[in-house]
Amino acid sequence: MTVAAIPASKPHPLSTLLELTKLRISGASTFTAAAGYVACLRGVDAGLITTLIGILLLAMGSSALNEVQERRFDALMPRTAQRPIPRGDVSPAAATVFAVGLAIAGFIVLLAAHNLTSALLGALALGWYNGFYTPLKRVSAFAVVPGSLIGALPPAIGWTAAGGSATDPSILALAFVFFIWQVPHFWLLVGLHAEGYEKAGFPTLVSVFGRPRLSRLTFTWTCGTAAACGLLPLFRVLASRPAEIMLGLGAIWLIVGSIPLLRPGQDAPLYRRVFMNINLFALVLTAAVILDPFFSR
């Protein structure tokens, strides 16, 4: 028997589960929610645990439901063709039941352990992502702009779970930064995988503007993300000098690392490097907000 004839081993069920629920991305959303919780409370208590559990369950359910919705398109793109549903490891029906179960469990945890506001914001995040943004991607190359509300909601869920008001200027400032961040984050992903998206029938800004103009536009939004961080000290989300320095240095590093987008001859390694940079910056931003109350003591 040749090597090519040996059937591929079936992935472990746990591995399939982690892929289906996009645990890495769901975990990142949960981490930003922790920033909202800690920023509101100016500290940590046991309620942070139930907040993170509720948001993680909702995010995993939403991610799994997204894979059900986009299974036919995922099968056409090299980047996503090996996801569990296109690969045949789990049926769409089973994935749907699992996704809905996770989402309901997350909603109940937030409602029972915290309050109706945080649970409703969690439901809004799922509805906006799966009911609005996911179908809009098939229609408009600009879908990410309204879709970026998804990035703004997790910190607000954490804030309200801690007892804060959803209309407090502090959380609106923090949510706005994550809203702005989401746009260049996605456009870098488009620049990296434009051919795959277009093969699957998704409109992209590469086809609308061309890669050089998209790169300049992405750089502009990246600078906007860095500039928006100035709102955090202004609205007292950050109150300590170490956290402000940490975020300021991160913003400068982000801009400097994005300058190559303005040069001719952008290629996949460049987009991948800047994409990693903007993800690391989100980590620095979140860490600065979480550590700020402890720096202030």
Q: Mind listing the pLDDT tens digit for each residue in 8-36?
A: 566 777 788 888 888 888 888 899 999 99
pLDDT of residue 243: 95
Whole-angstrom Cα distance, residue 137 to residue 99? 21
Fill in the amino acid letter for 237: V
81-85, 172-176, 238-242: which has the minimum mean pLDDT? 81-85
pLDDT of residue 2: 35
pLDDT of residue 197: 86
Can you tell me the mean pLDDT for 102-119?
Answer: 96
User: Under 8 Å CB-to-CB from 172, ≥6 apart: which residues?
Assistant: 235
Question: Is residue 102 within 8 Å of residue 64, measured between CB atoms?
Answer: yes
pLDDT of residue 15: 80
Can you tell me the mean pLDDT for 218-227?
Answer: 96
- The answer to whether residue 203 scores a pLDDT higher than 70 is yes
Ordered by start, the domain boundaries in the chain are 13-295
- The answer to whether residue 251 scores a pLDDT higher than 50 is yes
pLDDT of residue 81: 84
pLDDT of residue 47: 95
13-295, CATH topology level: Farnesyl Diphosphate Synthase (1.10.600)
Whole-angstrom Cα distance, residue 280 to residue 291? 16
Whole-angstrom Cα distance, residue 187 to residue 179? 13
Can you tell me the mean pLDDT for 190-214?
Answer: 86
